[in-house]
Amino acid sequence: MKMLAIFVLLIGSFVHAELESKEFFYHEVTSFTVSVERFHEPIYVKYNKLVENEGQRVEYEWLLPHLNFRQIDKATDYQSWISNVTSEYARTFRITPEGFNEAKKRYNPAKLDEIAGGTDSLFYAVYFEMGDRSICKVVGASADKKYENLEEAIKADKGFLILFFEKIDGKWKKQLPKTGTFLDRISILPGYLDNLETGNKNHLVDVRNNNKLKTFDVNGVKDMNIVTSPLE
């Protein structure tokens, strides 16, 4: 009997060790608020500048870091340019002082227009307040023309542009969504806006755990701890 108890204890230890060796990712959220702001008129961004509506730089604080990040000619040095993005963003795109200096040396707006050719038409922003975190996801459309309204963009069926920002140390910074977190799975495209604004409790979030869905509502999540990465 004693040997059996020791055997069970050993098995239990191995199971415990095996569980501890797994990497679990949790995103704890007990409540958050959502607000949707539809712009009175589209915000047009062409390459490195706003087309018309320059005053909207001030009205929408997140827009300035977005434009500064693209406007390499406006930055005096690498530090002033990189301060508009998070460290994660810089790492992902391998933005280095050497790369910045080379890009600045080669910067040619006329050539950029010739190569890129496109206009971003931004229509609305969805703001998430979660404790001390403020997040903004902006939705628009990219094309070779300026859309006058959202309906026109939907009819053109060109797909949507989504910009992601987070307020860090009191400043909006361009951010990369952390793939696998519940926020990535909240649809903010036109067809789902009413769900967000009315608090529809049937809104679903893919938590990337064996492709299962969990029910979500704008007052919080039903499970305090959500596994946000598939378990091996």
Of residues 212 and 158, the one with the higher pLDDT is 158
Q: What's the whole-number mean pLDDT along residues 196-202? A: 70
User: Regarding beta strands 119-130 and 49-50, do their DSSP bridges make them parallel or antiparallel, or are they unpaired?
Assistant: unpaired
Alpha-carbon distances of 15 from 8, 21, 26, 201, rounded to whole Å: 11, 10, 21, 38
Q: What's the whole-number mean pLDDT along residues 208-225? A: 58
| Res. 138: pLDDT tops 90 | yes
The distance of Cα 77 from the centroid of its chain, to the nearest Å, equals 26
Query: DSSP characters for 49-87?
Result: EESS-TTHHHHSTTHHHHHHHH-GGG-SSHHHHHTTB-H
| Inter-residue contact 34 to 195 (CB < 8 Å) | no
Placement of tokens 């305090």 in the chain: 224
pLDDT at 112: 56
| Inter-residue contact 135 to 26 (CB < 8 Å) | no
Single-letter residue type at 41: E
pLDDT at 104: 84
> What phi and psi values does residue 126 have, to the nearest 5 degrees?
-115, 120
pLDDT tens digits, one per residue of 26-55: 556 667 788 899 998 899 887 666 766 778
Question: How is the chain split into domains, by residue range?
Answer: 26-227
pTM: 0.76
pLDDT tens digits, one per residue of 79-125: 888 888 888 888 888 888 998 888 888 777 666 555 455 788 999 99
| Inter-residue contact 126 to 139 (CB < 8 Å) | yes
**CA atoms of 138 and 193, how far apart (whole Å):** 12
